[in-house]
Structure 1
Amino acid sequence: MILHGYSHENPVDMTFEQQRDVLDKTWKLLTDFCGKPPRGSVAPWWETSKEGTELMLSYGIEYDHSMSHHDCQAYWLRTGDSWTKIDYSKKAEEWMKPLVKGQETGLVEIPGSWYIDDLPPMMFIKNSANSHGWVNPRDVEDIWKDHFDYFYREYDEFIFPMTIHPDVSGRPHVLLMHERIIEHINKHEGVKWVTMAEMCDHFKSKQTPAPGALMPADAQDVLRKYQDSKVT
């Protein structure tokens, strides 16, 4: 189990204090329920705030699944990038400036992809024009299979993190789609089904954070402080 908000709150719409309180509450709930601290996080709506990464680091979170800087490779997340917004009332030269890279971190990003996510095409959401829910799952299946086949052909090693929601993929026509996709994937030599925590561990066994990277707090120290607070 990993962190995903309390009521699917959008981090972008919350104050820093609200984000911190939701993280603190949900971290404690999962820790008590699972008997150990959560290692990962997924931002609700895949919407991320400027404070979110450092908040996760302060709770010892090791990996995230909210960004899309790569399609099929884990990477070290960077925080604090900045860029000049386009302002059409000004001369173009005033906004044509390079992105300024922020701080490297020791937080592993397991990328998400809107193209390997069941929700946008197959869930009915009022007032969302692209989410009417009446998409033929075989069309989605072809897209997912094409993604997998391309990655398998082009990379010696890759991850294929499908994002699956129970209120979407729990429907009969989508369950059948998943059965066909799993059968397709399993026909390929060398495939291994793993958790995101295992993806994180594998990546860290081969990659080292950049010098000076912001590192996650020690998860055991965070846990110890929480346990001490319950005693007192």
Structure 2
Amino acid sequence: MPLNLPEGKRLAVNIGVDFDAQCAPNGDTSKLSPAFLSRGDFDVEVGAPRLLALFGKYQIPTTWCTPGHTLITFPDSIRSVLDHGHEIAAHGAYHESVPSLTEREERRLMELQLSQHEKIVGQRPRGYRSPAWDFSDSTLGILEEFGFAWDSSLMGRDFIPYRPRPVVVHREEPHEFGPPSSVLELPVSWYMDDVPALDHVPGMLAGLMSTEGVFARWRDTFDYAYENEPGGVVTLTVHGLVSGRAHAITMLERFIRHTRQHDDVWFATLSEIHDRWSD
């Protein structure tokens, strides 16, 4: 089912910024060496301002998926994002590994991050992106319980929003599917994320691909959606500590220019895209 896009628009595009700053991967604080913390410094002091300047240049509204730890540690940066007209969404309390949490701890961290959003942003977020890009068995129900309108963590589609269902997994019998959720899924893809392709963390992530190959992947994904999925949405995920680097932000600007060759492409926040969906 396609989105009800604004008149004259064929395809929606969202650029989502995962504003992780100094949060550790999967919440593992043992990885927070001085060198790793300096990556977070770059995100806050260099990467985020460069992205804000780029989005301002092309007047593109974006969604910044932000851990509660980033909110309370760098509130001035959050105010800058808001002052530039962008959306702040939930992204965990401290970039925790959601699938490894107990239901009780996951609910506690949800309450914590929502209180941090209310304190720093001034309101609760409408949407959520799991820092793990994955759920526990409890996550979907917790999102429903806390009244989230949308999620952007799962990969059951590529260009069309959908309502995810809980699944009971069986090995020798068919899986059992629950009812569609009240939460609308705005799907993501590792193919449309800058970290796996471009980042490098010794002992954790190789990355370091050519920007030419990554740009070709992003361009081809957009071109396919534009030609074959009218009423769909392309979601791109970037990080200031990756796409804020000189070589990567140049590639990101090339992608923006490519998409803007089409007058009927609509850049929007994830909440704006959610509001264009009807079942």
The TM-score normalised by the length of structure 1 is 0.79
| Residue of structure 1 equivalent to 2:202 | 126
Aligned ranges for residues 42-191 of structure 1 at < 5 Å? 42-79=129-166, 81-85=167-171, 95=172, 97-128=173-204, 131-191=205-265
1:73-125 CA distance string (max 9 Å, x none): 1111212x12323xxxxxxxxx2x33221222110000001110101111113
| Residue of structure 2 equivalent to 1:16 | 103
Q: Please state how far the C-alpha of 1:200 moved relative to its aligned partner.
A: 0.7
Q: Please state how far the C-alpha of 1:163 moved relative to its aligned partner.
A: 0.7
| Residue of structure 2 equivalent to 1:224 | none
Quick one: distance in 2 between partners of 1:177 and 1:143? 12
Do structure 1's residue 3 and structure 2's residue 114 form an aligned pair?
no
For structure 1, the residue ranges without an aligned partner over 5 or more in a row are: 86-94, 208-232
| Residue of structure 1 equivalent to 2:119 | 32
Quick one: distance in 2 between partners of 1:155 and 1:47? 25
Quick one: distance in 2 between partners of 1:201 and 1:140? 30
Greater RCO (CA < 8 Å, at least 6 residues apart): 2
Quick one: distance in 1 between partners of 2:103 and 2:122? 28
1:107-156 CA distance string (max 9 Å, x none): 0000001110101111113333xx32321111100000000001111122
Which deviates more from structure 2 when the two are superposed, residues 98-107 or residues 53-62? Answer: 98-107
Which deviates more from structure 2 when the two are superposed, residues 155-164 or residues 139-148? Answer: 155-164
Quick one: distance in 2 between partners of 1:133 and 1:156? 32
Quick one: distance in 1 between partners of 2:249 and 2:192? 15
Identity rate of aligned residues, in percent? Answer: 28
**Which structure has the greater CA radius of gyration?**
1
Instruction: Indicate which of 179, 187, 198 corresponds to 2:272.
Output: 198
| Letter of the structure 2 residue corresponding to residue 99 of structure 1 | H
The TM-score normalised by the length of structure 2 is 0.66
Q: Please state how far the C-alpha of 1:39 moved relative to its aligned partner.
A: 0.5
Quick one: distance in 1 between partners of 2:243 and 2:154? 22
Quick one: distance in 1 between partners of 2:253 and 2:196? 20
Number of residues of Structure 1 aligned to a counterpart in Structure 2: 192
1:30-89 CA distance string (max 9 Å, x none): 02222221100001120210101111111111100010000011111212x12323xxxx
Q: Please state how far the C-alpha of 1:21 moved relative to its aligned partner.
A: 1.1
1:3-50 CA distance string (max 9 Å, x none): 111211001111112111110010011022222211000011202101
CA RMSD, Structure 1 to Structure 2 (Å)? 1.2
**What SS does the corresponding residue of 2:115 show, helix, strand or coil?**
helix
| Letter of the structure 1 residue corresponding to residue 252 of structure 2 | H
Runs (4+) of structure 1 exceeding 4 A deviation are none
**What SS does the corresponding residue of 2:95 show, helix, strand or coil?**
coil
